[in-house]
């Protein structure tokens, strides 16, 4: 029970990997702030997991979202031990058909929001002398395929940022890590399916959110001088 009493902020907590992670960490005794846009989903999850879970309905694409999240978390907990940046959106299309109206939202949620919250929480954690930041990326960061340039490009940028942040915080007591899942059956593929396309989770036996949550929990369990800085987790049928 290394997480007993630890304070944890999870973004994208209303469904999928975020919700599975919240449940798993709550079972280990963590105190949680659940962050996502959908208030009703957050309230239901908080009631389910108990353990004094708190919720914050927030649109992470807004420029001040990271500040609001940090202020709320410190107001509730005093300090934050672990930040899990899990929220993300997926839009895929060949360049000829891509809706450029979706570009800014993808940049904001998948990259800018993570960078802002990582930096702000890192500063607070460093001042406290300890903490951990876990950014959820994707194996897509290393994939070059038609229709994936924007999503995978943003994940690649996130990985580079996270690695540099880890180096900059080395020796400060603040750990930085990255979890890169393969194909996981979540709501992230709903946009594809709503357009009559097959979701990536329909091509192979995909992982479930709990599979990725276990990897995140493993990273949270590191103590002392150890820092598991990168975990790639693939579906067993994945060939990337």
Residue 51 is predicted with a pLDDT of 78
Residue 10 is predicted with a pLDDT of 98
Q: How far is CA 117 from CA 22, 50, 63, 98, 167, in A?
A: 18, 25, 10, 28, 17
pLDDT digits (tens, 9 = 90+) for 190-201: 877 888 888 877
* Strands 230-233 and 82-85, sheet pairing: unpaired
Contacts of residue 181, defined as CB under 8 A and 6 or more positions apart, other chains included, come to 17, 136, 138, 139, 207, 211, 212, 215, 233
pTM: 0.95
The verdict on residue 238 lying in a domain is no
pLDDT digits (tens, 9 = 90+) for 100-156: 988 999 999 999 999 999 999 999 999 999 999 999 999 999 988 888 899 999 999
The verdict on residue 1 lying in a domain is no
- Average pLDDT (35-49) is 96
CB atoms within 10 A of CB 192: 18
pLDDT at 232 over 60: yes
CATH number of the domain within which 168 lies: 3.40.50.720
Residue range of the domain that includes 186: 7-233
Cα separation of 188 and 207, whole Å?
13
SS3 (DSSP) at 226: coil
- Average pLDDT (6-35) is 97
- Average pLDDT (176-186) is 94
Cα separation of 199 and 219, whole Å?
28
Active site (catalytic) residues: 151
Residue 234 is predicted with a pLDDT of 95
- Average pLDDT (79-86) is 98
pLDDT at 184 over 60: yes
**38-42, 130-134, 235-239, range with the lowest pLDDT:** 235-239
Counted domains in the chain: 1
pLDDT at 189 over 90: no
Residue 1 is predicted with a pLDDT of 56
Residue 100 is predicted with a pLDDT of 92
Q: Give 69's pLDDT tier (boundaries 50, 70, 90).
A: very high
> Could you tell me what percent of the chain has a pLDDT over 70?
100
Residue 110 is predicted with a pLDDT of 96
């Amino acid at each position: 029970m290394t997480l007993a009493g630890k304070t944890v902020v999870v973004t994208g907590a209303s469904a999928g990997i975020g919700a599975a992670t919240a449940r798993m960490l709550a079972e280990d005794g963590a105190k949680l702030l659940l962050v996502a846009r959908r208030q009703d989903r957050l309230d239901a999850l908080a009631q389910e997991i108990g353990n004094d879970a708190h919720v914050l309905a927030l649109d992470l694409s807004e420029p001040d979202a990271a500040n609001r999240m940090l202020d709320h978390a410190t107001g509730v907990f005093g300090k934050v031990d672990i930040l899990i940046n899990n929220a993300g959106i997926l839009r895929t299309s060949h360049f000829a058909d891509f809706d450029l109206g979706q570009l800014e939202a993808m940049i904001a949620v998948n990259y800018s929001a993570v960078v802002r919250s990582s930096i702000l929480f890192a500063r607070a954690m460093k001042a406290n002398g300890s903490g951990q930041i876990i950014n959820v990326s994707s194996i897509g960061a290393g994939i070059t395929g038609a229709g994936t340039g924007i999503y995978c490009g943003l994940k690649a940028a996130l990985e580079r940022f996270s690695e540099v942040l880890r180096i900059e915080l080395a020796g400060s007591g603040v750990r930085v890590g990255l979890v890169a899942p393969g194909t996981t059956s979540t709501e992230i593929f709903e946009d594809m399916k709503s357009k009559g396309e097959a979701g990536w989770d329909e091509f192979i036996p995909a992982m479930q959110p709990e599979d990725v949550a276990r990897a995140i929990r493993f990273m949270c369990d590191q103590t002392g001088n150890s820092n598991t800085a990168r975990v790639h987790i693939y579906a067993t049928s994945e060939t990337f």
